[in-house]
Structure 1
Amino acid sequence: MENQSLTKQIGEKLKKLRLENKLSLDQLSARCSVSKPMLAQIERGASNPTVNTLWKIANGLGVSFTAFIDAEQPVIKKVNRSEIEPLIEESGKMKVVPLFPMEPGKSFETFYIELEPGCDYHSNPHPDGVEEYLFIEEGSMTLEVDTQSYIISSGESLRFTANYPHYYRNPYSESCKAMMIIHYPSSIR
């Protein structure tokens, strides 16, 4: 898979996961609230899914976000985030770089994220038991979880249960750069 584009890799993995779960495109569409034509385009590698769309599909299949981009991992792996193709949210103001996808036997995945000024990203609730850990490297963001709002800035960290709607916002004049770990319960692969 190393020479294939990320879009094609996501499409192939989506189709494999859908077939492993014995789901038609219609059935998956009903589970994840993503249209059948969009799912078909993603599977063919004809459409690059947004972060939000990929989360909906992952939740519908009961898999991790990085299940679509994982590959067999060596014992030691060094990554340079500038060499990883980022996922860009539809507004273009949020960049997600999957650093360490979830691997068999592990229950977490690690991302680098950047929120540009004016970013207002809504994340749908994740399955019960999923937790997110944020570590702010530069700048600040406002995180809203359910009805609570938190401002987190450079040097600060925050952990929350992610089975509520949550919003990542950057109302500030500088970019917010952060590391994120998503921890999954054992029921999610």
Structure 2
Amino acid sequence: MDVIATVAASIRRERERAGISQTELARRAGLAKSTLSQLESGAGNPSVETLWALATALEVPFSRLVDPPRPAVRVVRAGEGPAAHSDRADYTATLLASSPPHARRDLYRVTAEPGEARVSDPHPPGTAEHVVLGAGRALAGPASEPVELGPGDYLSYPGDAPHVFEALVPGTAAVFLMEHL
């Protein structure tokens, strides 16, 4: 299943599971109903910001909207996996592993280039983010107090407050672990 088809089916499944109409979900996510309708039909190509808004409105982890069904053994090669691109920054988040039922974590590989920072709105209450920088240099963490990271550095911060990731040099890459309560 391709990423767009996975996202379309996931949005519809989670909206129906929540028992809300397209109109209500669009309102909660700050989207036009026509945009949501296109996404659910597989005709749209949502940005990472749109997917985060929908996940927040549905009160589900981002990964529930982009993760395809998976086999027992799974290898995700560099450059593969369901990727979401930012409209605001040269930033791509690729889901590597999502939480199995009853677990509360998702794992992402992020690549970013210098330019505009990726500023994230707060995720659901209790969300924490962990970052290990693999290459390059970046500013990351709370939007009010980002921390400069180098290769191998680890950072943990509340994901339920505005936060930022900004590549400072070309070829910046990191692994993010998101914990959800």
Match of 2:150 among 132, 153, 158: 153
| RMSD value, Cα | 1.6
In structure 2, how many angstroms separate the alpha carbons of the residues matched to 1:79 and 1:39?
29
Supply the distance in 1 between the matched residues of 2:148 and 2:89 (Cα, whole angstroms). 22
What is the CA-CA distance between 1:147 and the residue it aligns to?
1.8
Match of 2:25 among 19, 28, 38: 28
How far apart in 1 are the matches of 2:84 and 2:172? 16
- Does 1:165 find its partner at 2:162? yes
Aligned letter for 1:80? R
Pair 1:88 & 2:91 matched: no
For normalisation by structure 2, the TM-score amounts to 0.92
Partner of residue 140, structure 1: 137
Q: Secondary structure at the match of 1:135?
A: strand
Q: How many residues align?
A: 181
Separation in 1, partners of 2:106, 2:114:
26
CA-CA distance at 1:33 after TM superposition: 1.5
Aligned to 1:177: 173
Q: Which moves more between the two structures, 152-161 or 99-108?
A: 99-108
Q: 1:12-161, aligned counterparts within 5 Å?
A: 12-91=9-88, 93-161=90-158
Q: Deviations over 1:38-57 (max 9, x none)?
A: 11111111111111110110
TM-score normalised per structure 1: 0.88
Q: Which residue identity is paired with 2:180? A: Y
8 A Cα contact 2:141 2:157, kept in partner: no
Judge conservation of contact 1:138–1:178 (CA < 8 Å) in 2. yes
Unmatched tracts of structure 1, length 5 or more? none
Amino acid of the structure 2 residue aligned with 1:175 = G
Q: Choose the corresponding residue for 1:10, options 7, 10, 33.
A: 7
Deviation at 1:72, TM superposition (A): 4.4
Flag the 1:106–1:13 CA change in 2: closer, same or farther, 3 A. Answer: same
Tell me which amino acid in the other structure corresponds to 2:38.
Answer: Q
Deviation readout 1:62-101 (Å, 9 max, x if unpaired): 1011101334444433322333242221246111111112
Distance 1:178 1:150 in 2: 14
Give the share of equivalent positions with the same residue, in percent: 23
CA distance in 1, matches of 2:89, 2:160: 25
CA apart distance, 1:173: 3.4
Segments ≥4 residues shifted beyond 6 Å: none
Secondary structure at the aligned position of 2:79 is classed as helix
Are the counterparts in 1 of residues 136 and 172 from structure 2 also a CA contact under 8 Å? yes
* Counterpart code for 1:112: R
